[in-house]
Chains A and B, each alone.
Chain A
Amino acid sequence: MNNSREGNSQLALDDGAHIAVIGGGPTGTFFSIFALHMARMIGKELNITIYEPKDFTKDGPGGCNRCGGIISELLVQTLAVEGINLPDSVVQKGIHSYKLHTEQGSVSIATPALEKTIATVYRGGGPKGKVSPDIASFDNFLLEQAVREGAVRKPVRIDRIVLKNTKPVLYAKDAEIQEADLVVGACGINSTAPKIFEQMGFGYTEPEKITAAIAEIGLDEKVIADCFGSSINLFLLPDRNIKFAAMIPKGTYVTLCILGKKVTARTMKDFLNNPVTKAVLPDTMPYEIHCSCLPKMNIRAPKKPFTDRVVMCGDAGSTRLFKDGLGAAYLMGKAAAKTAVFDGVGADEFRANYYPVYKSIIYDNYFGAMLYFVIDIYRKWKYLTKAMIHVVDKEQQSSRDEKILSAMLWDMFTGNERYKNVFMKSLKIRMHADMWEGLFKGLVRGKNETG
């Protein structure tokens, strides 16, 4: 039954209001950090409780919100401007370039001054069986920031939320835990928590999701430095099941991340046996897979992410397609905080102030989907792959400032730019002229080889 007071625009947070944040992942902590900071700016006191059952200092999947752990250039910079500087213990490696591997060759795309603008992190305490003083969890770092701002963290898994007298009441193990003036659904999509919100009946449905694969490959630190340096290795292979894969260096591990439509444990094995992958990994040195998982990825946002006193954010709401989910967590957590503190917590306020940001991500993902469609064609058709490699290679060798395709691929995979802007760049005529040249050369060469 829908008990909500939709349309009531008078729902503002009073001084001393109670906010319950379900999930202490990045979305929940970003929400809390910004809500508390903004409230203090206008002299309002908020009581924020973050419910998070995981201990992020633990190793293995139990302490980890499974992901590749790439903090995009844009997010690193934005956080620095916000005064949230990632400590050295959290940053496992600074990244200054991407290496793109295809069956038709490899190219490298780097930042202009080889400045390390991208961070790789562990979300939890590190790969299973490996607790090290050199590894500090990204999620724990943010959670501690939120607690420093004034949030209270409770290690509780919420399993039911019921509206009583228009206010949401939280339950855990059938015991009433708290009545809240606002509930923030930052529970991600890797548990049954989205169902709790579905059952509240305000129209929210769990996001559409796919399964991805992650593995931590243990290697000697020197081998990682030699083989990977400060580069993320990206694989665009003609494999039907793999959209793209990435190998992300971090200390004594390389995180392997595979995204695709039908990813299973088997996909991972096949990928590691692919000659292109084998050429990247050391041929003499054995490697070990220490930790692996099959997390879910949000590929389509639900239509109704709010009602009076409830708002859904981050992975449980809308996120960026196939990249920079952490950047989206920042964006959506902050947008929800801004609305709650400055505008109110009624459905009308969320519709007017939060929903435009939410929809802008959905809208941008349409451009993303188009770009991935094009990239799919390029990676599947060998002459196009060759042309692409040819153009990027030429751009990287050239002193010309405008490296259109390199910049496009960089922005696309680093999460540095919105998909729409990348798409707009793709319309530049010069790049197409270069592509045709590359394609022509590829075809001629192909013909000579076969003929």
Chain B
Amino acid sequence: MKQGELGKVYVDREIIFKEGSQGDSMFVIQSGKVKITKKTEKEEDLTIAVLGTGEIFGEMALFDKQTRSANAIAMGEARILSIDKKKLFSSISRDPTLVFKMLESMSRRIRKLNDDLTQFKKNKFDVLHACVNLEDTCTLILEEARNLISADNGSVMLLDDKGETLSIKSAFGKKSDSHLQLSVGEGIAGDVLNSGRAELVNNVSMDQRYKAGTAHIKSMICIPLKCNDKNIGVMNMSNNTDRLFTLEDLKVLNALSFYASVAIENARNFSALHDASEQVLRHATLLDM
């Protein structure tokens, strides 16, 4: 089979040009794929785009006279035609309409970047929402728990960053204890956090660990929340009335605790991602216009 063979062949992962280098030509892909990558602040390669046959790249450095803004790397074998800057500009000076197609391609790219950015901002908003509402995540968990079992009160308590104190992130029922804080090992919740074992206590007042608050409860279930083998908090469900919890209730809540832990961890990760995205967005103000 005959091979049409215009251009130069680059092997898989061969660098066509490097970020920061001088640009004397632009390129048109004849066959194969090229990825455009950029180094992040953490020195990791971030793929900005994957381009295919017929697409132009490397034109930016010709027009803004700056160094290459990204790397271009062959993905698999790629055949690339280079177009010399001097020849191109001499042709454009004689026929300015030669840039029509390039402008079309560039504006298509800017449009896509704008779309990406809008999407990114939207995601960022969601992220922001999710992380500001770590408490909401906990509320959601409690709502789910209430759907599964009957209880008069409930709370999700999370360990602080230092890993010393448990505090309530969300609660329902008697509100008076919403500011309750427990040290690790203190009270039934503190002990469950320590042991990592779920407990059903149907006679709370008889339990020596119980630390009475203003709200008087008669029975409770306390489930540890674990992430990567680390106990990050507890979920409590309690009754003021004589209604007792069953072993089945314990099992159901234990199962829920797995998903609850993942949701809480995600909310925390989102918060970290949000901080990073804020940083990236600050660098991308150009496209905000």
Contact = CB atoms under 8 A, between A and B. Distances in A.
B54 A88 contact: no
B101 A81 contact: yes
Contact of A78 (B7, B98, B100, B104): B98
A86 B54 CA distance: 9
B54 A116 contact: no
A87 B4 CA distance: 7
A230 B3 CA distance: 12
Contact of B91 (A78, A87, A134): A78
A88 B32 CA distance: 12
Contact of B5 (A77, A80, A91): A91
Contacts of B282: none
B98 A82 contact: yes
A246 B56 CA distance: 33
Most buried by A among B6, B82, B88: B6
A89 B56 contact: no
Nearest to B26: A81
A113 interface: yes
Most buried by B among A37, A81, A334: A81
A82 B101 contact: yes
B100 A41 contact: yes
Contacts of B4: 86-92, 94, 119
B59 to A, nearest CB: 9
B53 A80 contact: no
A117 interface: yes
Contacts of B87: 74, 77, 416
A91 to B, nearest CB: 4
Contact of A117 (B2, B6, B31, B100): B6
B101 A88 contact: no
B98 A81 contact: yes
A88 B31 contact: yes
B102 interface: yes
B282 to A, nearest CB: 35
A117 B96 CA distance: 23
A92 B88 contact: no
Interface residues of A, number: 36
Nearest to A37: B100
Given A81-B98, A88-B31, A334-B95, A134 B1 contact: yes
Given A113-B8, A115-B7, A134 B98 contact: no
Contacts of A89: 4
A87 to B, nearest CB: 7
Nearest to A337: B97
Contacts of B82: 115
A150 interface: no
A76 interface: yes
A415 to B, nearest CB: 12
Contacts of B8: 113-116
A80 B81 contact: yes
Contacts of B3: 88
Interface in B52-86: 53-54, 56, 81-84
A253 B8 CA distance: 23
B28 interface: yes
Contacts of B88: 77, 81
Nearest to B104: A83
Interface string A55-85: 0000000000000000000101110111101
Most buried by B among A90, A115, A230: A115
Contact of B83 (A38, A81, A91, A119): A81
Given A76-B81, A81-B56, A86 B98 contact: no
A382 interface: no
A116 B79 CA distance: 10
Interface of A: 34, 37-38, 41, 74, 76-78, 80-83, 85-94, 113-117, 119, 134, 230, 251, 331, 334-335, 338, 416
27 contacts: A41-B100, A76-B6, A77-B83, A77-B87, A78-B91, A78-B98, A80-B28, A81-B101, A81-B102, A83-B105, A85-B28, A85-B53, A86-B4, A88-B4, A88-B30, A89-B4, A91-B5, A91-B6, A94-B6, A114-B8, A115-B8, A115-B82, A116-B8, A119-B6, A134-B1, A230-B5, A334-B95
Given A74-B87, A81-B101, A119-B4, 9 more contacts: A34-B97, A77-B88, A80-B56, A86-B6, A88-B30, A91-B6, A94-B6, A115-B82, A331-B95
Minimum-distance CB pairs A-B, first 10: A88-B4, A91-B4, A94-B5, A134-B2, A80-B28, A115-B8, A83-B101, A94-B6, A77-B83, A85-B54
